[in-house]
Chains A and B, each alone.
Chain A
Amino acid sequence: MTVFSEIKQGTYYDSVTLMRISQEVKSMDGVKDVLVGMGTTLNKDMARSMGILSEEAAGVGNNDLFIVFSLEDGENPQNIFERIEALLNPEHSESAEGYNPITLREGLKYAPEGNIVLISLPGQYVYEEAKFALENNRHVMIFSDNVPINQELELKQIAVEKGLLLMGPDCGTAIINKIPLGFANIVRKGSIGIVGASGTGIQEVSALIHRKGRGIAQAIGVGGRDLKDEIGGLMMIQGVKALIDDSQTEVIVIISKPPSASVAKKIMNLAKRSQKPVVVDFVGDVEAHDFHYGNSNVYLCETLEETALRAIALVQGENKANSICTKDQKRLEEIEEKAAEESEKYGQGQKYILGLFAGGTLASETISIIEKNLGTVYSNIHRDPVCRVIPDDKTSMHLCVDLGEDAYTVGRPHPMIDMSTRNQWIEESINEDVAVLLIDIVFGSGANKDPVGAMEEALAEAKKSMEEKGKHLTIICSICGTENDIQDYERAKKRLEALDVIVAESNAHGADLAVAMVRGRNEKLEPIRRLFKSEISVINMGIDSFYQDLMQLGVKIVHIDWRPPAGGNDKMLSLLSRLKSKGDD
């Protein structure tokens, strides 16, 4: 081992530059050890104890920078000195926040400890990079979409073979060892493990678990196509096996949009063989609930909220037969009460729900809940092609739009980041027959830092515009996030409530509220509702004293000076009646 040093006397470099030099020199070929620091006695002691304090470095003072490094025998230090000079060059140090290798190969050398490669490149470049990462035994998360499915299959086969995770393509969310990747939320560490083929599904369940005081062991995203026949659930199976094996995971949660039947069967069989409880939500797949799992350890849930609560209950060791609070009587009563309060304010004809979503799975779940209660919903993501349409005339229908779908994101950021598409929808698509506007806000790294601020003008304007038409618009928002997210759940909630927005506890709760508000809307009672809201104006027929009394009270009243037909002559009355009935014939 040979020791070398570079000394910069009385010259100062900012801490970021020093950190960068340390990291980069350490990653260079042949370098055994390196220390970069100001020449204080203690720092020199440190270098001495590492056996890399050169004679030259031993003589430096507090305000001198010293860089000492040791090389394997026979290695040439020249390229290392050149690299240090380049990094100390002011132009370089000012040009970037940190050193950025330009290839994955260089990156793996620079950061050999890197264990996950996160790829969000355009789809056509993904395969080569992901394959390289897998071949170098790194786990991979692919945020990108537009990766051909045959490439996805090949990458996943390699990952399975090597015992690695290949999360994606089109994997928006993962939480590994508490670190949020992609659009994930900051949640506490815990004992519930999630494998999901749905980004916002994972987010909603993990955020709810956190808000209820529990935590996540790991959340593994597998990409939206993993549970299709072409891929066969390769990574879902890999993920579930990993969680079965993980000692920190006590309960496993599986989330996916409806899978293919054969893949669902494979996954459910694996789940049933697990010693750990498995909670499953195939979002919006009503047929899945026809399966009978008897006394197995598998729990099928209908909503993401139920999934989260069921997982929590299982972690807490609660009896599986216990009902969970999404269906409890108190909550139902609260929903009905809130619905009665709101529906009271609606004008004539207001009985439809407009849902505008950033999260695809949240939109799917909402469609499922509304359809179960109110009938057809039109949507750009509807499973039934007949309803998979956004008509130009949006009146007289329940409508749910997933604004994260490709048609709305071409050339612009995802609606979790950029609220302008949704604001435009709010401005242009709220008809006079819309009673409830249902929206989601998805927090997390990568998402808009101030989503409420970006929407508040549009929301206030929508309410005002309906008021001017003599209508009332209920806005219900569910926030998928935690108080630890940079967007701050509690703060956002307060700001929304200040705008008279009802903040639902979950996406499913929001949909339940919307349904109750619209379902409670009995059109036949509309005249009575109008009466209750009007100034009374009476037309009095008969007893004169009623007229006199009401007039005394200042009530608008007209008295009819009523006389019996035919002057009260019964015979004439009978004749007139007969004549009238003939005329009717």
Chain B
Amino acid sequence: MKIISSDLLEYLKDREIEGHIHSVFKNVVNIQTEDDRLIAIIDNKKDIAPMSITSGETIYSNLSLAKGERVWITGNQFTIPGRKITLNMNMSLVWNSEPEKVSMSNRSCDINRALAILEDVITTHGRNTGLVPLMFNINDQFPTIRPYTNETMKMNRYSKKIKSRFCQFIKSVYTLNLSEINRHSNNIIGFGPGLTPSADDLLAGMMISNIYMAEYYDLNSGYVRSINREIIRGIKDKTTDISYEMLRNASGGKGSDKVKQLIRAILIGEVNLKEKIISVIDHGGESGSDMLTGIYLGMRIINDEALRRKLQK
């Protein structure tokens, strides 16, 4: 089944684009366009995400596609000249990449309970080789985000190295100082293991949850979006192209389908929350766990009533 994300459909509308193959993975081919966007062509084993299409069962690594090969995109057709490879997306389903609007009125249980489950599942199923330990080790500076359980997690070398910078960033979020937010996010972006460095995954998770929480608590979403814009302003030369695209999408509240489903489950109080958490953990090496850490911390921060009062419309 072919699926195209709604933001990509919008981006391609009435355009002829020339791009090149940016990177080839087992289940994903990334195409970089002239205006520096990355479009992901994903096979059915991977989760649909913003600016992407799922194309069927093709295993891209078997096609021996090479970095730099030209790609033409006309209408909804992707063509790799000389390879006789075309991918027509005209009959595909459209997946809505925009963040879903979930308000408190949809809630069936306490959000804290869902976050406590998330905390618990991360300790038993998560990968803590990235920045997950920060979840359990910054409450000395931010008592309102004390873990729900008595769980502890040993700091690894990445967490130790970034902790003070990260705490400065969190502090700037609590004070809603936009220039400080920008300064401190720029001090952590690009840090950590993985193709999308751990700090980027964490920030992506936070930004996505910011957008959802603004809607959930009916806050000043314009201001919340400006926080996200400050987080990613000026970061292009600080991280990888793939991570930059992820952060750009996340600043608008856009994440993969699994992330969307998880956030919905947290906010609404769905019963199969645990499966959804694990499905996000399973993404990449540390990436899924780091993004969950960001989602968790983002929600804990906006759950703080004092901050919410400042963000009222």
Query: Which residues of chain A have a CB within 8 Å of any CB of chain B?
Result: 10-20, 22, 36-38, 40-43, 46, 49-50, 62-63, 90, 93-94, 178-180, 186, 188-189, 484, 486, 488, 490-491
**Within 8 Å of chain A (Cβ to Cβ): is B105?**
no
Report whether A13 and B195 are in contact in the complex, using a CB–CB cutoff of 8 Å.
Answer: yes
Report whether B271 and A491 are in contact in the complex, using a CB–CB cutoff of 8 Å.
Answer: yes
Report whether A62 and B195 are in contact in the complex, using a CB–CB cutoff of 8 Å.
Answer: no
One of B61, B271, B284 near A15 (C-beta < 8 A) = B284
**In the assembled complex, which residues on chain B have CB atoms less than 8 Å from the CB atom of A180?**
124
Q: Could you show 25 A-B contacts with beta carbons less than 8 Å apart?
A: A10-B67, A11-B67, A12-B195, A12-B242, A18-B193, A19-B127, A19-B194, A36-B193, A37-B193, A37-B197, A38-B190, A38-B194, A38-B197, A38-B240, A41-B238, A42-B190, A42-B191, A42-B199, A43-B191, A43-B197, A46-B161, A62-B237, A188-B149, A488-B271, A490-B271
**In the assembled complex, which residues on chain A have CB atoms less than 8 Å from the CB atom of B193?**
15, 18-19, 22, 36-37
Closest residue of chain B to A22 (Cβ to Cβ) is B193
In the complex, what distance in Å separates the CA atom of A12 from the CA atom of B245? 15
Choose among B121, B157, B188, B193 the residue with the greatest number of A CB atoms under 10 Å from its CB.
B193
**Within 8 Å of chain A (Cβ to Cβ): is B221?**
no
**In the assembled complex, which residues on chain B have CB atoms less than 8 Å from the CB atom of A50?**
157
Report whether A46 and B191 are in contact in the complex, using a CB–CB cutoff of 8 Å.
Answer: yes
In the complex, what distance in Å separates the CA atom of A42 from the CA atom of B23? 23
Per-residue CB contact flags for chain B residues 102-127 toward chain A (1 = under 8 Å, else 0) read: 00000000000000010011011001
In the complex, what distance in Å separates the CA atom of A93 from the CA atom of B157? 26
**Within 8 Å of chain A (Cβ to Cβ): is B47?**
no
**In the assembled complex, which residues on chain B have CB atoms less than 8 Å from the CB atom of A42?**
162, 188-192, 197, 199, 238
**Within 8 Å of chain A (Cβ to Cβ): is B261?**
no
**In the assembled complex, which residues on chain B have CB atoms less than 8 Å from the CB atom of A62?**
190, 237-241
In the complex, what distance in Å separates the CA atom of A95 from the CA atom of B122? 27
Q: Which 5 A-B pairs have the closest CB atoms?
A: A40-B190, A15-B285, A19-B285, A42-B191, A15-B284
Query: Which residues of chain B have a CB within 8 Å of any CB of chain A?
Result: 23-26, 61, 67, 117, 120-121, 123-124, 127, 129, 149-151, 157-158, 161-162, 188-197, 199, 237-243, 271-272, 274-275, 278, 284-287
A415: shortest Cβ distance to chain B, in Å?
Answer: 23
- Interface residue SS majority, chain A: mixed
Closest residue of chain B to A62 (Cβ to Cβ) is B240
**In the assembled complex, which residues on chain A have CB atoms less than 8 Å from the CB atom of B189?**
40, 42
In the complex, what distance in Å separates the CA atom of A488 from the CA atom of B243? 35
> Can you add 4 more A-B contacts, CB < 8 Å, to A17-B285, A38-B190?
A12-B23, A42-B188, A42-B190, A188-B149
Choose among A11, A37, A93 the residue with the greatest number of B CB atoms under 10 Å from its CB.
A37
* Known A38-B240, A49-B161, A490-B271: A15·B117 in contact at CB below 8 Å: no
Report whether B124 and A186 are in contact in the complex, using a CB–CB cutoff of 8 Å.
Answer: yes
**In the assembled complex, which residues on chain B have CB atoms less than 8 Å from the CB atom of A189?**
149-151
Closest residue of chain B to A49 (Cβ to Cβ) is B161
Choose among A37, A38, A43, A49 the residue with the greatest number of B CB atoms under 10 Å from its CB.
A38
Report whether B117 and A14 are in contact in the complex, using a CB–CB cutoff of 8 Å.
Answer: no
**In the assembled complex, which residues on chain A have CB atoms less than 8 Å from the CB atom of B197?**
37-38, 40, 42-43
A204: shortest Cβ distance to chain B, in Å?
Answer: 20
**In the assembled complex, which residues on chain A have CB atoms less than 8 Å from the CB atom of B161?**
46, 49
**In the assembled complex, which residues on chain A have CB atoms less than 8 Å from the CB atom of B272?**
488, 491
Report whether A18 and B285 are in contact in the complex, using a CB–CB cutoff of 8 Å.
Answer: yes
**In the assembled complex, which residues on chain A have CB atoms less than 8 Å from the CB atom of B158?**
46
In the complex, what distance in Å separates the CA atom of A490 from the CA atom of B192? 39
B38: shortest Cβ distance to chain A, in Å?
Answer: 11
Report whether B286 and A19 are in contact in the complex, using a CB–CB cutoff of 8 Å.
Answer: yes
Closest residue of chain B to A16 (Cβ to Cβ) is B285
In the complex, what distance in Å separates the CA atom of A22 from the CA atom of B193? 9
A388: shortest Cβ distance to chain B, in Å?
Answer: 40
* Known A15-B287, A179-B124: A37·B271 in contact at CB below 8 Å: no
**In the assembled complex, which residues on chain A have CB atoms less than 8 Å from the CB atom of B150?**
189
* Known A14-B284, A37-B193: A19·B129 in contact at CB below 8 Å: yes
**In the assembled complex, which residues on chain A have CB atoms less than 8 Å from the CB atom of B191?**
40, 42-43, 46
**In the assembled complex, which residues on chain A have CB atoms less than 8 Å from the CB atom of B238?**
40-42, 62
A34: shortest Cβ distance to chain B, in Å?
Answer: 11
**In the assembled complex, which residues on chain A have CB atoms less than 8 Å from the CB atom of B271?**
488, 490-491
**In the assembled complex, which residues on chain A have CB atoms less than 8 Å from the CB atom of B192?**
37, 42-43
**In the assembled complex, which residues on chain B have CB atoms less than 8 Å from the CB atom of A38?**
190, 194-195, 197, 239-240, 243
* Known A14-B25, A486-B278, A491-B272: A63·B241 in contact at CB below 8 Å: yes
Report whether A16 and B25 are in contact in the complex, using a CB–CB cutoff of 8 Å.
Answer: no
One of A17, A40, A93, A491 near B240 (C-beta < 8 A) = A40
Closest residue of chain B to A91 (Cβ to Cβ) is B61
**In the assembled complex, which residues on chain A have CB atoms less than 8 Å from the CB atom of B275?**
486
Closest residue of chain A to B196 (Cβ to Cβ) is A15
In the complex, what distance in Å separates the CA atom of A460 from the CA atom of B1? 35
Report whether B240 and A15 are in contact in the complex, using a CB–CB cutoff of 8 Å.
Answer: no
**In the assembled complex, which residues on chain B have CB atoms less than 8 Å from the CB atom of A37?**
192-194, 197
Closest residue of chain B to A33 (Cβ to Cβ) is B157
Choose among B161, B272, B285 the residue with the greatest number of A CB atoms under 10 Å from its CB.
B285
Report whether B240 and A14 are in contact in the complex, using a CB–CB cutoff of 8 Å.
Answer: no
One of A16, A40, A188, A488 near B284 (C-beta < 8 A) = A16
**In the assembled complex, which residues on chain B have CB atoms less than 8 Å from the CB atom of A93?**
26
Report whether B239 and A484 are in contact in the complex, using a CB–CB cutoff of 8 Å.
Answer: no
A566: shortest Cβ distance to chain B, in Å?
Answer: 79
In the complex, what distance in Å separates the CA atom of A38 from the CA atom of B275? 31
A193: shortest Cβ distance to chain B, in Å?
Answer: 16
Closest residue of chain A to B290 (Cβ to Cβ) is A15
